[in-house]
Structure 1
Amino acid sequence: MRVIVAGSRTITSIEEVTRAITASGYKVTEVVSGGAHGVDWCGEQWAKTNGKQMKRFPADWHTHGWRGGLVRNEEMAKYADALVAVWDGQSRGTQHMIRMAQKYRLKIYVHEVR
């Protein structure tokens, strides 16, 4: 299963992200990452540690300007099967990723960290 691991840039605990991935119950074959700091980076480290494939979707800020992250989120949602969102309850980017996952009918697991 291709799983987006995304979330707040302020969350930097690999252990917290690992707990979220495990709690989701998803059979992860590939981690899909936006390549940002925080949860994205932790998800990439989890993929390396667990021998999983990884695909990065870096935001194209040059082409899309401030919409770069939004365009990237939609591209990831079109590609993936599921989302593990590790969210601080405030990040608008994570909230947008959740909305894109809903739009494309992905399986969604939200792990809130406050």
Structure 2
Amino acid sequence: MRVAIVGSRHFSEPERVMDYVKSLPPRASIITGSASGVDAAATRAARDKGIPVQVIPASFDELADAGKSAARNQRLVDACDVLVAFWDGSSKGTKTTVERALDSGKEVHVFVAK
């Protein structure tokens, strides 16, 4: 099971991300971008548990242009079986990625910051 973990850089509960990743079955693998926040917490927890991590980083152009960063997010959606989003309630990028995953017929779980 390939699980894409996405979310806001400013998601205020990294421990929720880490707890979720640590609860995954041993056969799972994680797919993330390389951003701070949710991506970093998911990567750290996966490595602590020995879960394989595939990083799909944004290119320099994608970091500089929101339209181009959507292409990287689509690559994450295309690569996963399940998408899990940790959303701060306002991040447009996370919301759009969730919508893309739903449109693609992916299983999606969204955790909203308290």
Distance verdict in 2 for CA 1:64–1:33, change over 3 Å? closer
Partner of 2:98: 98
Partner of 2:87: 87
Distance verdict in 2 for CA 1:77–1:87, change over 3 Å? same
Query: What SS does the aligned partner of 1:52 have?
Result: coil
Q: Which moved more, 1:34-43 or 1:62-71?
A: 62-71
Q: Normalising by structure 2, what TM-score?
A: 0.85
CA-atom RMSD in angstroms: 2.1
Q: Please tell me whether the aligned partners of residues 17 and 86 of structure 2 are also in contact (alpha carbons under 8 angstroms).
A: yes
Task: Say if 2:16 is the partner of 1:16.
Answer: yes
Distance across 2 between alignment mates of 1:98 and 1:63? 18
For structure 2, the residue ranges without an aligned partner over 5 or more in a row are none
Distance verdict in 2 for CA 1:108–1:98, change over 3 Å? same
Partner of 1:2: 2
Offset of residue 33 of structure 1: 0.4
For structure 1, the residue ranges without an aligned partner over 5 or more in a row are none
Partner of 1:60: 59
State the aligned residue count.
Answer: 112
Distance verdict in 2 for CA 1:64–1:43, change over 3 Å? closer
Partner of 1:49: 48
Residue-by-residue CA offset, 1:35-83 (whole Å, 9 max, x unaligned): 1110011110111011111111111232785123200110111110001
Distance across 2 between alignment mates of 1:7 and 1:113? 10
Q: Normalising by structure 1, what TM-score?
A: 0.85
Partner of 1:39: 38
Aligned-residue sequence identity (percent) comes to 28
AA in 2 matched with 1:110 = V
Offset of residue 85 of structure 1: 0.5
Task: Say if 2:77 is the partner of 1:72.
Answer: no
